[in-house]
Structure 1
Amino acid sequence: MHKYTDLEKAFMRDFIPGHTYKEIQEAFIKKFNWDIT
């Protein structure tokens, strides 16, 4: 299981309201270079 960093948590807290899970996932991939399959 991925352990979220404080930076990631702050990003999620700011971004999540009003966005779908898929949008959040795509934003994470762009921002943190995640390879989520």
Structure 2
Amino acid sequence: MHIKTGFQVFISENTFNLYIKFYQSLAGQYLACCPDDVT
């Protein structure tokens, strides 16, 4: 029970971190290609 719950938490945290990195990279690309739009 504890192992399964810990594994689910680990997976969810990893997915959350992946989403953060994904959106950060998207934001970085947007800022890099369109600096004039952000003021």
TM-score by length of 2: 0.36
Which structure is higher in helix share?
A: 2
Larger Rg computed on CA atoms: 2
Select the structure with the greater relative contact order (CA < 8 A; seq sep ≥ 6): 1
